[in-house]
Structure 1
Amino acid sequence: MSAQNKTENILFDIHEKSYNAESKILDLVIIIDNNKDENFKGKLKVSTPTGFRSILGQEIFVDLQKNEKRFISLKFFVGNNADAGDAQINLILTNEFDQKIGEKTVIHQVQESSILQMTAENQQIFRDNNLDSLKIRIKVSNKGNRMQQTTLVFKIPDYSDSNHFIEQHGTLRPQQDSTFTFSFLPSKELLKQSNFTINVTGFKDPDKELFGNTRISVQSVSHTQKFQDEQQNGFASTTRNSITTSYRRVGNDLDMYQILGSGGFNVASGYIFINGNMFMMNSQTDPIINNTYISYRREKSEFTLGNISKLLELSLFGRGIEYSFLNSAKDKKIEVGFIEQSFSLLERNSFLQNGYGFYVKGILNPYNFSHNLSSIYIFKNDPYEKAKHHLLGTEFTHNFNNLWQTSSKLYGGISIYDQNGITKPSLAFESQYSGIIKKLNLNGNIFYSSDYYPGNRRGSLQIQQNVNLMVFKKHYAFANVFYSNYSPKYYFYQTQLSSDNVKMEAGLNFAKTGSIGYSFAYQYQFEKSNSYNNFLPQFQKMIYQFKRIEL
């Protein structure tokens, strides 16, 4: 920084300079000393380079009494788009007539940041015309503060010869996004394949340092080719478009027969996928058919008929039909379904005897796992509770930044019981979070549901908090607290369950010595329930309420 300026008995100087790398705040303390026998009024004008922002603004009014000395604190935010290297901040002090009294130049060195990210605009490409060229679009983002020379290498398979490698070069300014587009016409041998994969790798020039890679799956949906949907895997033990039969014998008298398979094919307008599983044992009169369904897809719509499994807040499993629609922008989706609660497609029980349910669900940004919102309505007729349950709720996920994330659920329900004519309202709430404050990692969740809540977790209260702190290099302190109360209530059960669990733990994880790790922890655990050994007399039950301390 420059030397002191003293003009017209006004002293103007830099008193102190500091920089916080975590908050990216540059602090300057300016001293202005009025040695005159009269008041001084003026302005302090601030000029900053690209990427720097003065929190107090570009002009700061100064009003000093005679012989008054004042310290002025200036704060600058150093953004990600600040160029690496020496940055100059100019400070000019003027009087009330805009005449320059003094000038300062502050030099701040911006550390170099080199961060590149690459993503494919479409991870899966469907081709319906073999005469058209194939276009691959890769988005590269320069998140650093220096200009970057990049090279993208496209690896194209060629089944008649070796692989082909095509390079594209580009220059990205700091905080700039650029899209690399590569078009080519697949060879005749490649066109014969129903699907193939293109690999793209990104390098920083001139050292060819790898910064990312991605894969693009290309599938042909033309009428001359066989379409295989990669999203449908069927059973883990089978492959697509296949049928497997098996026979098993357990012991001396148990025989089991099974047939399962999955496959898909194109139709005149759309695509059909079928999945099936059927097994039978010699002790049964009817075969069990589950996980068996047929799906029809056309443009943005999909219909599914057969076994439907929906892991919702009020889960539904059984025979049914489901419809889903996704808009062209892929940011809005709706699902509607009806499910009859029968395990097998072939049931001797009359239709709807085991109960039934239906649901409507709308989702905003279904493929954005950082920011999404959904709402759902679920109805279930439960013959075992002799009740009709209505559940309405919403769920959302929001990432504030790379360090803090949160998700929450809120559900309200109404249960109408046929046997006693009671209408019972209920509520459930859940919230989860995770974040980092300097070297402190935090995450926790809380869940609450009322006693007669018809969802999967009835009558529950769960609170959990985890803390992890790096005390010094490679040594971590941790603490966990967990509390659970489970006390669901039913109108058709005589005995009501109630249990409490408390667990607290704290300790240290020390750095590894070779392949051996060390830790020291204190643990406290308490459990209590009215379900422990109900066959014992009342005075003996208290023995099974216990506490445990571990060291």
Structure 2
Amino acid sequence: MVDNRPNLLTNPDDSVRINVTLQNSGNITEDVYLVFNVPNLQGASPFTELTATLHPGEQRDFTHSFLVSSNLLATERFDVRVSVLKGRDKQIVETRTVNVHSIISNRNYNSFLRDQAYSMGQGSLDNGILVSYRTYNFNSQTMQLQGGGYLDLPAGYLHLKGNVYKYNTQPLPYVSNTSLTYQLNESQFVVGNVQEQTQLSLYGRGAKVLLSDREGRNRVTIGAVDQNYNLVDERPWFNDYYSYFVKGELGANNVKNGLVATYVYQKNPYEKAIFNLGSLEWRYRFSNTWNMELAAHGATGSYSEIGENHYSGAAEMKYSGRVEDKLQLNGSAFYSDPYFPGNRKGVLSLMQNGSVSLSDRMNLNLSYSYNRSNPKSYSYDYNYNSENQNANISISLPSIKNFNNSLNYQHQRESSSSYSYLVGDDNDGANLNMRSHRMGWQWRWQNPAWKYSLFGTIEGGFFKNPISKDIVSQGKASLSFSYKWITMGTSWQQGAYYLFEQVMAQRQEKVFTRFTASASVNHQLSNKFRISSGVNFSNDVYQGAIPSVNLNTTYTPSNRVSFILTGSWYKYPNQGNREIFNVEGGVRYNFSRGVPLKGRKSSIIAKVYYDYNANGIYDKGDAPAEGYLVEIDRKAFISGEKGEVKYSSVPFGSYDVKQLQAGEWSFSRQEIEVNSYKTGVEIPLRQSGTLQGSIRYIVGENSIEIKQRNEGFRFTITSNDGKLRQTAVSDGQGNFITFLPTGNYSITLDVRTLPEHTEIEETVKDFTIEGGGVVKLEPFDIVVKTRQINVRKFFAQTPEE
């Protein structure tokens, strides 16, 4: 069918032409369909179909040409997929992929990877910039600048990211999420806004260093954080609220086993204490289906208010596993002392989930969670206590065509002191308790062919009034509809589901009700314009009727530039019909996309020259080879005016250098070792030898009659050392010619390219090429098979005497 050799694109204004030759080797007439697919082609359809009718033995040439869009030009190479189908049912006969290479003299190592990853999107703000203006009710204005960029270095890279915004009512700007990072392999050095995940909050101005082995398995992190998120705040650094920390990790990227130890020193002016916190975390995978994580935290606090040291701690556990293929389990538990200085003080939390497969079409899911929070402080009088439980059982029922549904039961208990002040003095600050039981049904009906779906829920139950202790009914129903890029939904609730809802309704001596309705669109109007918008309405007994509208639009004239406009409007009747109107507009620009490599890199500079004296050294009498095609690390280059090609930011390692196309001048394939920041390579070209060959048909007196075809015979040429492999194809006269470097070779005829009813006895020939010489092979004899001849003999009988 099509030649697999790469197509070379040297001029971006040229079209790419894919030539395909089809032959009907059968004995019946065939209707064939030739389909070309250029993935990610913009400005034109990526699919092109050509049709033809081929008679037995007929051969025909086809050419598909197209202009390359800008996103494909930005890549080093892209693929064109060619498929041949036949018959009314369009049965696939053969599929080939043609590589199209963009040929330049200078190229960066990772440009192909980053262009492929981001050619269809906007990329990340880690490597772009966004400038925006925002107004709040036309009274408050904010200018914001956010983004980041990379600087590639011979060893690692630098990354600067930032977020700067300025209110018109404030004299100083706010600079947050802003840092400069130096990355080398898996190690990091960060200055600016830093953060670290520990039981104590660590976020603000500061610096940290992460030291790691090359594989990222074992790491140590050391840092200092001034707990002020604004980099340009006038308050001095490390004055009243700051932390120091060190973290060690063994098996950080090991999914089976890992250990983490952390120490934090923190001066906390809000708790009026100095904390020392230590943590030890361990995770282990027992098998492919069971794993567990354990953690213990201990802390000491020196409190200036009471002049004493106090000790506290916390512990947690997580697990997940599977029993055969029927039962899946996962759960977690956490406990902390009420005076524990971490982010979760005075917490007891339990969670358990399970899923049982009842049959191929039915599943039973169970879940339970319990959370209690009762934080205490030696410096402040906390008066908060809450407790929540939730249990759920659901069963998915067998689907009926496009209809799926499930049943569920839910038990919910909520206890809190937060709302006691809303119900009068009689409660005396005691916890309010609310316990409810509900049954529900969920269903979904969707039609993928018509691209619409319906989703509905209905549930009902009862709860015990936390104040009057009466039994009160509760229920909710919802319905949503979606079609392509349009979604609409509505819901109705009667009876409170949560303590706050019941308390607020009871203050007005009403039953809690809520009605909601919404409609939204999310549509890509064109390749450049996208809109997302919604209208919402909510009405309940304590907030009243709240309408809202939001709009988000993005216009992207190119892969690097986009314009953004967003807006929202709300109206709150319970706040004196207060209206809130926000508008934001901005422009975004993406830098060269992708992330530089983390390790040490080199620049490969290759010198391509005509080695007239054949000594392998560029010296007197030799000349630079301009416009010569070279392949380095499977990427195509063309030598410039001085015969040079440059390959930048190449990771240390071994790389192949070989010629891309056969010609009158050639060089031997070589492997180069890159282990310094600059690598020079000489590519001496020596005059090639010429190989000529042909095919001829051997036809006998009783041979089958066929239509002889001369073109399309494929030959594979291989050097004896295995470093060179080349393809040659016969022309309309049955001849082929190619150029080869000096050496010993073998040539093999691909028997799959033989016409029907033919065979060949000698498929392989050996030969030797010398520089400037011509080798003419004996023709490959294509033998036409003989017809099967049935001979019947007759004998005359001799009459009896």
TM-score normalised according to structure 2 size: 0.40
Q: How big is each residue's C-alpha offset from its partner over 1:489-548, in whole Å with a ceiling of 9 and x where there is no partner? A: 112222331111122222322122233322222222111122223252133866942111
> Residue 548 of structure 1 aligns with which residue?
436
Three-state SS of the structure 2 residue aligned to 1:292 is: strand
1:370 aligns with 2:256: yes
CA distance in structure 1 between the partners assigned to 2:254 and 2:393 by the alignment:
36
- Paired position in structure 2 for 1:406: 292
- The 1:384–1:440 alpha-carbon spacing in structure 2 relative to 1, beyond 3 Å, is same
Aligned residue among 212, 216, 219 for 1:330: 216
- Taking the aligned partners of 1:243 and 1:158, their CA distance within structure 2 comes to 20
- Quote how far apart the aligned CAs of 1:158 are: 10
Instruction: Please state whether the residue corresponding to 1:538 is helix, strand or coil.
Output: helix
> What runs of 5+ residues in structure 2 fail to find an aligned partner?
1-72, 82-100, 440-801
How many angstroms apart in 2 are the aligned matches of 1:238 and 1:299? 22
Q: 2:142 corresponds to which residue?
A: 256
**What is the letter of the counterpart of residue 250 of structure 2?**
L
Cα deviation, residue 196, structure 1: 4.2
Q: 1:496 aligns with which of 372, 383, 386?
A: 383
2:156 and 2:77 mapped to 1: Cα distance? 34
Contact 2:420 2:431 in 1 (8 A): no
**Residue 541 and residue 424 in structure 1: after superposition, are their counterparts in 2 closer, same or farther (change >3 A)?**
closer
User: Alpha-carbon deviation of 1:337?
Assistant: 0.4
For 2:284 and 2:105, locate their aligned partners in 1 and report how far apart those are by CA, in whole Å: 42
Q: State the distance in 2 between where 1:501 and 1:255 align.
A: 41
More contact order relative to length (CA 8 Å, sep ≥ 6):
2
Structure 1 partner of 2:372: 485
| 1:534 partner SS | helix
- Please show how residues 116-515 of structure 1 align to structure 2 within 5 Å: 162-163=78-79, 189=104, 192-193=107-108, 195-197=110-112, 217=113, 238=125, 240=127, 242-267=128-153, 270-298=156-184, 301-438=187-324, 439-515=326-402
Q: Provide the C-alpha distance between the structure 1 equivalents of 2:425 and 2:362, rounded to a whole number of angstroms.
A: 50
For 1:159 and 1:550, how far apart are their aligned partners in 2?
A: 57
Hey, what's the Cα distance between the residues in 1 that align with 2:148 and 2:351? 42
Give me the whole-angstrom Cα distance separating, in 1, the residues matched to 2:105 and 2:363: 53
Q: 1:479 & 1:333 partners in 2: Cα distance? A: 39
CA contact under 8 A between 2:394 and 2:406: conserved in structure 1? yes
Is the 8 Å Cα contact of residues 159 and 189 (structure 1) preserved in structure 2?
Answer: no
Is the Cα contact below 8 Å between 1:409 and 1:431 reproduced in 2? yes
Question: Structure 1 counterpart of 2:360, which letter?
Answer: K
Residue 302 of structure 1 aligns with an amino acid whose one-letter code is Q
8 Å Cα contact 2:186/2:214 also seen in 1: yes
Separation in 2, partners of 1:314, 1:495: 19
Residues in 1 aligned to 2:314 and 2:262: alpha-carbon distance in whole angstroms: 14
Distance in 2 of aligned mates of 1:519 and 1:453: 42
Residues 150-195 of structure 1: per-residue CA shift (max 9 Å, x gap): xxxxxxx995765499xxxxxxxxxxxxxxxxxxxx9864961452
What is the DSSP-based 3-state SS (H/G/I as helix, E as strand, rest coil) of the residue aligned with 1:192?
Answer: strand
* Cα deviation 1:429-453 (Å, max 9, x = unaligned): 1111111113121111111111111
Measured after TM superposition, the shift of residue 481 of structure 1 is 1.7
Deviation readout 1:48-83 (Å, 9 max, x if unpaired): xxxxxxxxxxxxxxxxxxxxxxxxxxxxxxxxxxxx
TM-score, normalised by the number of residues in structure 1: 0.57
Is the CA contact (8 Å cut-off) linking 2:417 and 2:432 kept in structure 1? Answer: no
- Is this contact kept in 1: 2:144–2:163, CA < 8 A? yes
Change in Cα spacing, 1:292 to 1:339, as seen in structure 2 (3 Å) is same
How many angstroms apart in 1 are the aligned matches of 2:187 and 2:78?
40
Q: CA deviation at 1:350?
A: 3.1
Secondary structure of 1:512 counterpart = coil
- The 8 Å contact of residues 272 and 305 in structure 2, kept in 1 or not, is answered as yes
* Aligned mates of 2:154, 2:353 — CA distance in 1: 55
How many residues get paired? 344
Which residue matches 1:80? none
- Tell me if the contact between 2:329 and 2:353 (Cα under 8 Å) persists in the aligned partners: yes
**CA deviation after TM superposition for structure 1 residue 287, in Å:** 0.5
* SS of residue paired to 2:397: strand
| Structure 1 pair 261–312 and aligned structure 2 pair: CA distance change class (3 A) | same
CA distance in 2, matches of 1:269, 1:328: 13
Q: In structure 2, how many angstroms separate the alpha carbons of the residues matched to 1:194 and 1:249?
A: 44
Contact 1:409 1:430 in 2 (8 A): yes
Identify the residue that residue 427 of structure 2 maps to in structure 1: 539
Q: 1:342: how far off? A: 0.7
* Cα distance, 1:237 vs structure 2: 6.4
Q: CA deviation at 1:425?
A: 0.9
Give the Å deviation of 1:249: 3.0
Q: Distance in 1 between matches of 2:293 and 2:389?
A: 24
Q: What is the CA–CA distance in structure 2 between the aligned matches of 1:543 and 1:339, rounded to whole Å?
A: 39
Bigger radius of gyration: 2
